[in-house]
């Protein structure tokens, strides 16, 4: 497994990947899958430390040393966080060890178009289980693939941000949504 930290508009993000034998591979015959992502947590060193806490082992490298598919994933995430309209849904993820319900939640979340949001309850209904809003929230709280699995697009029933377990919490969620053109405002009394 390899790990890299790279600059983005919202701060240094991290990515971990491994080789996989599940597909045909890229031009070099190598196929890689993303094992985990890390949203910014201060500086690059702290972000790398947090990424290492998410994965078991791995060797750090420069993003330029990554395989083409991972360099592409880094470029797409960087562009997305800078406000560009890109599609992250085709980046291959390593879902080994992800519970089946969470994998279904992640797949549905990845189908939510950029610049739109749904509630936890709406996502549960899309899964065919409208009473599972809390379970959806739990699965998204354990999401180690943000922003590739866009848990930031899922809101509380009242349209407020709800939760966000990444560093920076709700401020990070709102910042990523703002990069996608979604601006949440707190309701006022007047």
Q: Look up residue 7 and give its two tokens.
A: 């600059």
59-81 per-residue burial string, b: 16 or more CB within 10 A, e: under 16: eeeeeeebbebbeebbebbbbbb
DSSP label of 117: -
Q: Which of 161, 34, 10, 141 is nearest to 83 (CA)?
A: 10
61 is catalytic: no
Q: How far apart are CA 155 and CA 14, in angstroms?
A: 24
- Would you say 117 and 111 are in contact if contact means Cβ atoms under 8 Å apart? no
Which positions are catalytic? Answer: 151
């Amino acid at each position: 497994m390899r790990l890299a930290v790279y600059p983005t508009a919202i701060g240094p993000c991290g990515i971990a990947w491994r080789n996989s034998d599940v597909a045909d591979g890229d031009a070099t015959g190598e196929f890689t899958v993303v094992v985990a992502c890390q949203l910014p947590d201060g500086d690059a060193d702290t972000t790398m430390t947090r990424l290492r806490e998410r994965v078991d082992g791995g060797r750090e490298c420069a993003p330029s040393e990554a395989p083409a598919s991972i360099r592409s994933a880094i470029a797409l995430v960087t562009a997305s966080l800078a406000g560009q309209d890109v599609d992250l849904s085709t980046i291959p993820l390593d879902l080994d060890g992800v519970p089946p319900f969470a994998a279904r939640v992640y797949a549905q979340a990845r189908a939510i178009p950029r610049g739109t949001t749904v509630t936890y309850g709406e996502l549960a209904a899309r899964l065919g289980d409208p009473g599972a809003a809390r379970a959806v929230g739990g699965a998204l709280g354990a999401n180690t693939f943000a922003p590739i699995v866009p848990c930031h697009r899922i809101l509380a029933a009242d349209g407020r941000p709800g939760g966000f377990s990444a560093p920076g919490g709700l401020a990070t969620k709102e910042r990523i949504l703002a990069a996608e053109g979604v601006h949440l405002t707190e309701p006022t009394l007047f």
